[in-house]
Amino acid sequence: MKYVSEFRDKKYIVPLVDELRKTIDRPLRIMEVCGTHTMAIFRHGLRSLMPEGLELISGPGCPVCVTSSAHIDGFIEVANREGVRVAIFGDLFRVPGSQGSLARAQSMGAQVEVVYSPMDALTLAGKYPQQMTVFLSVGFETTIPLVAATILEAERLKVDNFAVFSAHKIMPPALTALLGDPELRLDGLLCPGHVSTIIGAAAYEPLAANYRLSCVVAGFEPVDVLQAIIMLARQAREGRAEVENAYGRAVSWQGNLRAQKLMHDVFEPVDCQWRGLGTIPASGMAIREPFSRFDAEKRFAIRLTETPEPKGCLCGQILKGRKSPADCPLFAGRCTPVNPVGPCMVSSEGTCAAHYRFGLAG
Amino acid sequence: MCLAVPMRVIAVRGVENDFTIPQVGVVEAQGIEKEVRLDLVDRWPEIGDYLIIHAGFAIHTLDAADAETNLRLLREMADGVRAGAGGEKQ
């Protein structure tokens, strides 16, 4: 397939790994902040190809994992309301809040449907006119414009039994908050691929300038990731801290301006709680006032309350790159993909799930 | 969750910048056909173009020249070429 097979050609792997070995001249700590990168790195065994001294750590890149248990509790509260049907992306189904998960709510009678697209949630509203369909929405910039387009479509079609509960988050404020942590000591940031399709490579310029951090936007094929890591290693070697783009076929410098406009037409930045990172100013995206009739949080008068993390769970530290899943006393014991305690084990793109699945328990 | 895949356009319905009717493309990859929304796409696609699809929406129309540059940089890097391989600021 065009634009895919060329980037899956195995013949590049060995020379790229050689090039990486030649480039590295000191230990490097590189963070990826995209759950799809986490999975790509594990699935293709890229860790085992990394030269000694190159440490790859995972940051808060999985939108499901960083959804606070307060938001999950709010989601469940809506799901339990009379006459409500909730629609979700499948990853959210088993994520625990402080009082169980949506899976448990469903087993007790709540109507929970897994959808592929927010537009499918709007279709459900048409199919069940007597009920209120609420899309419980988590996601970063890749997803938020899609939800914005769905809300605009609902308005166009004058649908009055559809709403969105937005737990959306945007990446740059979280990265800024993360980089303020002196313990992190990062040498480079592997910037997310499809978040960057929307926001553009330029969005990382303040990080490169203010924190002297090398940033490279990466795609998802093994060679994409290797190429981006080499570019980060070259920057480290040459003492540069710049934004570069190793995913030019999908990411432009300015990003997708139409999607950005739609996102900002419908949503506005608000302070938002992140699991593990706490409340980060202007890092969430709430529905703007002119669209408030589609805002489930307002319509159902939901109040989010702070809830403690499960006892012993290190997800918070893991999402900040401070700890590895193996450091967690619950990992692979009380907390497994079948019986997850923390969100990093629930989501298929969570760091703990990746470590568990690919046998790094020790 | 932000996984998105390139698919080839085989039909386009709707009109660019006219939001009064649904903007839909029919795309195909490995024998699978799907309808996707074109509301957000950065460049209105032609039949034969490749789109990056995320959760039922096209979020990017691939540009052949960008993909070639991407591939050239990759090849140069695999060949150990240093000069001029420092990314693609635009």
Report the pLDDT averaged over residues A28-42.
91
According to DSSP, the β-strands at B50-54 and B5-13 are antiparallel
On whether any CB of chain B is under 8 Å from the CB of A154, the answer is no
A108 CA to centre of own chain: 29
Tokens of A148: 């914005």
Instruction: Tell me the CA distances in angstroms from A267 to A28, A87, A168, A278, A293, one per residue in order.
Output: 38, 20, 10, 21, 13
**Across the strands, what pairs with B11?**
B26
pLDDT tens track for A84-135: 999 999 999 999 898 889 999 999 999 999 999 999 999 999 999 999 999 9
On whether any CB of chain B is under 8 Å from the CB of A38, the answer is no
Mean per-residue pLDDT over chain A, rounded: 93
Percent share of chain A, pLDDT over 90: 75
On whether any CB of chain B is under 8 Å from the CB of A338, the answer is no
User: Is A239:A212 a contact under the CB 8 Å cutoff?
Assistant: no
Of B2, B60, B67, the CB nearest to A256: B60
Q: How far is B11 from chain A (nearest CA, A)?
A: 18
Report the pLDDT averaged over residues A288-307.
94
**Which of these ranges, A220-234, A235-249, B75-89, has the smallest mean pLDDT?**
B75-89
pLDDT tens track for B32-72: 999 999 999 999 999 999 999 999 999 999 988 888 888 88
What pLDDT, on the 0 to 100 scale, is given for residue B1?
Answer: 62
Task: Using an 8 Å CB-CB cutoff, list chain A residues near B57.
Answer: 117, 119, 145-146, 149
What pLDDT, on the 0 to 100 scale, is given for residue A1?
Answer: 56
- pLDDT band, very low/low/confident/very high, at B10 (cuts 50, 70, 90): very high
Report the pLDDT averaged over residues A144-150.
98
Give the torsion sign (CA, A34, A35, A38, A42): negative
Q: How far is B62 from chain A (nearest CA, A)?
A: 6
What is the value of ipTM here, to two decimals?
Answer: 0.90
Top pLDDT among A347 and B52 is at B52
The CA-based dihedral angle spanning residues A189, A194, A198, A204, taken in that order and rounded to the nearest 10 degrees: 0
pLDDT tens track for A158-215: 999 999 999 999 999 999 999 988 888 899 999 999 999 999 999 999 999 999 999 9
What pLDDT, on the 0 to 100 scale, is given for residue A200?
Answer: 98
Of A16, A230, A256, the CB nearest to B59: A256
What whole-number distance in Å separates Cα of residue A185 and Cα of residue A234?
Answer: 18
Residues in chain B whose beta carbon is closer than 8 A to a beta carbon of chain A? 1-6, 8, 19-20, 22, 29-30, 37, 39-42, 50, 52, 54-57, 59-60, 62-63, 66-67, 69-71, 73-75, 77-80, 82, 86-90
Residue A136 is inside which H or E element, if any?
strand A132-137
Helices A222-238, A35-43: crossing angle, 10 deg rounding: 100
